[in-house]
Structure 1
Amino acid sequence: MSKSEAFREQIEQGYQFKGDSIVVGAAMYEGQALTGAHVKVPLKTLNRHGLIAGATGTGKTKSLQVLAENLSLNGIPVLLMDLKGDLSGLAQPSPGHPKIDERMGQIGLDFNPDSFPVEILTLSEQGGVKLRATVSEFGPVLLSRILDLSETQQGIVAVIFKYCDDQKLPLLDLKDFKKVLQYATGEGKKEFQEAYGRISTSSTGTILRKVIELEQQGAELFFGEKSFDVNDLTRIDENGRGYVNIIRLTDIQDRPKLFSTFMLSLLAEIYSTFPEQGDSDRPELVLFIDEAHLIFKEASKALLDQIESIVKLIRSKGIGLYFVTQNPTDVPNEVLAQLGLKIQHALRAFTARDRKAIKLTAENYPVSDYYDTKEVLTSLGIGEALVTALDEKGRPTPLAATLMRAPMSRMDVLTDSELKALIKASGLVSKYNETIDRESAYELLNEKIEKAEQEAAKEEAKAPARTTQSRSRGGYKRQNPVVKVLTSATFIRGVLGVLKKVIR
């Protein structure tokens, strides 16, 4: 038996599964595709997370697209973070091309152009279903970690939430949170101190500054109502296909704090909402995070710890989490160690640092008797990748240089008219796109101010005229301290919307 035949046999045996699987391409040996030697990913282990990595222009997005298409065909909903704006083409069939036919012939698969049910979501002013959540749903623990607060400051945030619960003050958006925060060290200082202990004005000032920093990255479009129900991510269309939910993030690439805030809150909400699935034959939902380095960029230690914890725990809910980035070193080692499927496109070695990164990357893959992994990493062509998955027993499959299959849908963005038509046909736009600003902590505290002012006016009217005249001569006009604090410039209206709850 030749070495090529031995390699084919290893691939055919190593990628033979009992349950359903997705074919991602055909194994390659010495640069040539072995037609019919299909490299597969079993549905059963897709909740073990994964990584799609490679240099710019090597085919990462197309590999993501292929996985999303085949998950949808198998009735598994998908959520895609689209930071570059090039995934909307999933809603339209591929126009086809001779090169696609040639590639699919080499792989040994028929090419059938197809479109998929797509829902466009947004965090900004762009068209699509608006994603929001209230501050209360976000919770004190997660909010503190996003703001990177000290232990003392976290305690103050917890007190603010407790006060609002006790006083029945809805904490919906950041304007509510800021108002209560300021009240705690103003007229409400005595009230807070008696019930919850002393609150430092320097600590509340630091928290306020960090909230304003978050606002400056666009959080006013993130916190508020109506909150998005994550169960709407798991819809199946009338043909039994899972919805491909695409979050358009093209206008927040330069706001990593907002992006990481959204991602962590979404994962926390999914974790707290979805039931335990156990050892299922297929995932409930699969998330793909494109340009994943933005999550970890400038992230605090507390935030990284939170992400690591969620990655470890969320798979028990039937959720698969896939990071798409240029280099595996963009993902912290603690997270990287949790990833089962790896699709590694070509890396480029232009500097000593690049060569070191390639060496480290090669060490993350199973040893192969047929490849020099470091060499293959720099010689892969466009649409080729090193692939290893987990089999149905959780063992790594043989490492295979793979000619990746072409997407069935359009490998380009929708036109403006196509995008508008898609959004108009959405069943969720009318459900979530109405902005609601109901009575909350901001308005209720304003009422409290007004009542205090009226009481003060009544008391002053009862006072002897002599006292009033004396005050007038002294140039002193009494202002109720509640009014003074709660009408200050720091109480400008803060924000709107994002997603839900917390990790207890």
Structure 2
Amino acid sequence: MKNEVAIPMPEAARNELEALRKKAATTQIDPELEQAVGFTHFDTSASNDNLITVLSTKEELHRLASQTLVRIKSREDKRSYLGVVVRGPFAEPNAVPANSTMAIGVVTHGKKLTYTFEYHGRAEVELLGEELSGVLQPPRFRPRPQSPVFILDEQESAKVLGVGGELSIGSVVGYEKMEARLNPRDKAVLPRHTGIIGTTGGGKSTTVATLIHRAQQSGIATIVFDVEGEYTHVNKPTTHPAMLEALKRRGKQPEGVKELHVHHLVGRETRNPQHKPLHRFSLNFSSLSPYALAEILDMSDAQQERFLKAYDVTKVLLEDFKIFPTTEDQRKEALEVDEMATGYPQMTIQHLLDVVNAYLYVLSDEGRSDGRPRSRSASRGRSAERDDSDTADEEEASASLSSKGLPLKSVFKTDPKKVMQQVRAQPSRNLISWRALASKVGRLNRLNIFDMAGTEGVNYDAMLSPGRVSVIDLSDTDSPVLNNLVIADILRGLQERQELSYEKANREGGEVTPVLIIIEEAHEFLSASRITQMPVLFEQVARIAKRGRKRWLGLVFVTQLPQHLPNEVLGLLNNFIIHKITDGAVISRMQKTVGSIDESLWNRVSRLAPGQALVSFSNFTRPLMVAVDPAPVKRLLVE
């Protein structure tokens, strides 16, 4: 309006503004803030606990790479937090929303328009904890808004992640020099048991070969149940071109393990027959739990009942024939035998088969007409209802009976009357079940793997020598049942011998040798379908796993079919090396099992390149994406 007059600013206000201008001109930015990569944003109604939004300039955007460790210094309350980038970094426009028509038009017409909006970076950071007196504690609060965020250097990141140690698995993705390492002598790591999981071609076998090499270098006694014979040549350096090139990039040389011993069952071949030392071995029937054996042979309830009856009669006959027990100490040993874990001392499969054949003879027409009246129980046995599982091999089993009398092949043949006396003292019926049982035990006996003359049993003391690699070559068995027998027997023997070594070390103040047991194709040994049928066998494995944690005995289960492993087995594992998995249902199940891995890492599992793995070990602060080191040893490729 024409009559308005400008009123001059009061001198006091003018002086105050001038003072602020001079102060702003002379104020310098805190040198520490110069290193900040971004600042924490305000929370919204959509904010999540333990997740913080960090904003940065577009120039700093590239530094907030996924899985990068950061430190957040909360300005107002002077608290310090550590976190990791789990989502982003994302680029967002400054002027308009990213989904606005204007932003979309600018981007889609990029050929015609050189103009674009200024943008900033956004990342989501998961809090690992609050730093209190140099110790990371669970966070009780959240960083305040506009708190500076700093990138941790590799040395400090390695310390925070807990990746220090002598045994290297590979290099951590996203870092130039950081390696995923662990302490091979820490009871809280490898004895907590490990799962190596992934589809075919994802790099599991290379990881196993690398682990064998590194464990041997660390003085660990390593035992490998090798169902394909892949690791029977690991004493030689690799000649595979791709491995040689990968080793060169990592600055490493091809190198075989120094002390390889190859073991194979008597009567079976090995994929490295020229290797020295080469050990043929047979199993001791007396070391197998009768309950586990019944499960592995898939006996029906009727067959198992008769099997255990024959087993008890055989024990009585061993004493009658003065085989075992013969001394007072042996009698005490016999009373202490836990048949859920092991078998009866000095019993052979032929002893048991003789007793089974004796029952068959007693229930046969010839046995019933040997001067004794035909019993009602025997009559009922002949007319009993046939079970499908019993009749399958009736004809084959019948051939084991001799027309001239009772067929015995063990030491029991020296006095058949004693055998018949004990068999008749514990009568049974149902000839069909006995025939089916005789068929299964007879087939097992014809495998010629038990108590074979001229072959030694497994030398567990030698296997448990520091730095020794023992490969149990099962490539020529062609039978999951036979593989399971071998694995169950050797696992039990290793656990018993490690128990003795542990007790001796405690008495004498020495050290026990760390042991690593690797089971290939674990889904065939402990599948979900087998667990319900083999509770005794699983209980043996669970006992080994639980006791092994204190006695430095670690298990490694390797499988490309984790969906076949029951939750009971996965529950035994604390460490995981997860290679590529393409089945979404399997990934979903593994997410529930391995709860420490965030969703951003699981989203990458289906896209992992060969050799890359999601690694979660008990000593790591959080799971890591790792490029597993190439194997320097020779590995036979299996089609």
Q: Distance between the aligned counterparts of 2:212 and 2:350, measured in 1?
A: 38
| Shift in CA distance, 162/270, structure 1 to aligned 2, threshold 3 Å | farther
User: 2:484 maps to which residue?
Assistant: 260
Alignment CA distance shift 1:158-1:143 (3 Å)? farther
Unpaired segments of 5 or more residues in structure 1?
237-241, 349-353, 415-504
Which structure 2 residues correspond to residues 49-88 of structure 1 after superposition, within 5 A?
49-88=193-232
Contact 1:89 1:413 in 2 (8 A): no
Tell me, yes or no, if structure 1 residue 113 matches structure 2 residue 113. Answer: no
Q: Which amino acid aligns with 2:354?
A: K
Letter in structure 2 aligned against 1:301: M
Which of 164, 187, 193 pairs up with 2:318?
Answer: 164
How far apart, in 1, do the equivalents of 2:228 and 2:242 lie? 27
* 1:275 alignment partner, one of 477, 496, 499: 499
How many angstroms does 1:72 deviate by? 0.5
Aligned to 1:387: 615
Structure with greater strand percent: 2
Equivalent residue, structure 2, for 1:318: 552
State which structure, 1 or 2, has the greater radius of gyration over its C-alpha atoms.
2
- Cα deviation 1:377-421 (Å, max 9, x = unaligned): 101001110101112xxxx6411111011112224479xxxxxxx
For 2:199 and 2:285, locate their aligned partners in 1 and report how far apart those are by CA, in whole Å.
Answer: 38
Which residue of structure 1 aligns with residue 572 of structure 2?
A: 338
Contact 1:172 1:224 in 2 (8 A): no
| C-alpha distance 372-220 of structure 1, shift in aligned 2 (>3 A) | same
Residue 181 of structure 2 corresponds to which residue in structure 1? 40
Opposite residue 386 of structure 1, the aligned amino acid is L
On the 8 A contact 1:57/1:382 being kept in 2, the answer is: yes
- The superposition leaves residues 323-372 of structure 1 with CA deviations (integer Å, 9 ceiling, x where unpaired) of 11103223221111111221111012xxxxx3211211233334456x62
Per-residue deviation at 1:272? 2.3
CA gap 1:411/1:271 in 2 versus in 1, 3 angstroms: closer
In 1, Cα distance between equivalents of 2:512 and 2:240: 30
Indicate if the aligned counterparts of 2:194 and 2:557 stay in contact, CA closer than 8 A. yes
8 Å Cα contact 1:88/1:413 also seen in 2 = no
**1:194 Cα offset (Å):** 7.3
Cα distance, 1:291 vs structure 2: 1.4
| Match status 1:183 vs 2:366 | no
Query: Given the alignment, which residue of 152, 157, 160 partners 2:305?
Result: 152
> Using a 3 Å threshold, how does the CA distance of structure 1 residues 305 and 327 change in structure 2: closer, same or farther?
same
Q: Please say if 1:27 is aligned against 2:172.
A: yes
Q: Which residue of 2 aligns with 1:429?
A: none
Structure 2: 5+ residue stretches without partners: 1-36, 38-62, 70-83, 85-153, 325-345, 363-416
Deviations 1:64-121 (A, max 9, x none): 011110111111121112222221231112348586555664xxx5303222121111
Determine the C-alpha separation between the residues in 1 that align with 2:200 and 2:349.
38
Residues 1:87 and 1:3: Cα distance change in structure 2 (over 3 Å)? same
Tell me, in whole angstroms, the C-alpha distance in 2 between the residues paired with 1:356 and 1:22: 33
Task: Write the letter of the residue equivalent to 1:26.
Answer: S
* Larger displacement relative to structure 2 (69-78 or 183-192): 183-192
Which of 241, 244, 247 is equivalent to 2:472?
Answer: 247
TM score, norm. by length of structure 2: 0.55
Which secondary structure state, in structure 1, belongs to the residue aligned with residue 452 of structure 2? coil
**Contact 1:46 1:282 (C-alpha < 8 Å) held by counterparts:** no
Whether the aligned pair in 2 keeps the contact of 1:47 and 1:320 (CA below 8 Å) is yes
Matched, 1:14 2:161: yes
Distance 2:589 2:580 in 1: 14
CA shift for structure 1 position 40: 1.9
1:130 corresponding residue in structure 2:
280
Distance 1:272 1:39 in 2: 33
**Alpha-carbon distance in 2 for matches of 1:267, 1:102:** 35
How far residue 12 of structure 1 moved from its aligned partner, in angstroms, is: 4.1
With over 3 angstroms needed to count, the CA separation of the structure-2 counterparts of 1:347 and 1:211, relative to structure 1, is: same
Match for 2:623: what amino acid?
Answer: L
Aligned to 2:633: 409
Q: Which residue of 2 aligns with 1:492?
A: none
Q: Helix, strand or coil for the counterpart of 2:442?
A: helix
Residue 368 to residue 334, structure 1, CA distance change in 2 (3 Å): closer
Deviation of 1:221 after TM superposition, in Å, equals 2.8
Paired amino acid for 2:161: G
Q: How many residues align?
A: 386
- Alignment match of 2:427 (pick from 198, 208, 214): 198
Question: Aligned partners of 1:96, 1:136: CA distance in 2, in Å?
Answer: 44
Residue pair 2:221, 2:514 contacting (<8 A) in 1 also = yes
SS at match of 1:251: coil
**1:235 corresponds to 2:465:** yes
Task: State the match for 1:214 in structure 2.
Answer: 444
Correspondences of 1:282-361 after superposition (within 5 Å): 284-296=514-526, 299=530, 300-302=533-535, 303-348=537-582, 354-361=583-590
SS of structure 1 residue aligned to 2:229: coil
Checking the alignment, whether the CA contact within 8 Å between 1:11 and 1:27 is kept in structure 2 is no
Over the aligned positions, Cα root-mean-square deviation in angstroms equals 3.1
The offset of 1:172, in angstroms, is 5.9
Q: Distance in 1 between matches of 2:573 and 2:203?
A: 20
Alpha-carbon deviation of 1:23? 0.8
> 2-side partners of 1:50 and 1:168: how far apart?
46
Per the TM alignment, residue 315 of structure 1 is displaced from its structure 2 partner at its CA by 3.5
Q: Distance in 2 between matches of 1:257 and 1:313?
A: 26
Q: Partner of 2:516: helix, strand, or coil?
A: strand
The 1-side partners of 2:596 and 2:487 are apart by 34
Counterpart Cα distance in 2 of 1:49 and 1:388: 12
Instruction: Decide which structure has greater helix share.
Output: 1
What is the TM-score with the length of structure 1 in the denominator?
0.68
Deviations along 1:125-162, one digit per CA (max 9) or x if unpaired, are 21441121222233534434433454633243233234
Whether the 8 Å CA contact 2:292–2:534 is kept in 1: the answer is no
**1:187-245 deviation per Cα after TM superposition (whole angstroms, max 9, x unaligned):** 657521576x33446454343232235357xx323443432221121234xxxxx1211
Task: Summarize the Cα distance change of 1:62–1:282 in structure 2 as closer, same or farther, 3 Å threshold.
Answer: farther
In 2, Cα distance between equivalents of 1:49 and 1:41: 14
* Contact 1:104–1:405 (CA under 8 A) maintained in structure 2: no
Report the CA distance shift for 1:166/1:184 in structure 2 as closer, same or farther (over 3 A). Answer: farther
Q: Answer with 356-365 or 2-11: which moved more.
A: 2-11
Distance 1:258 1:46, change over 3 A: same
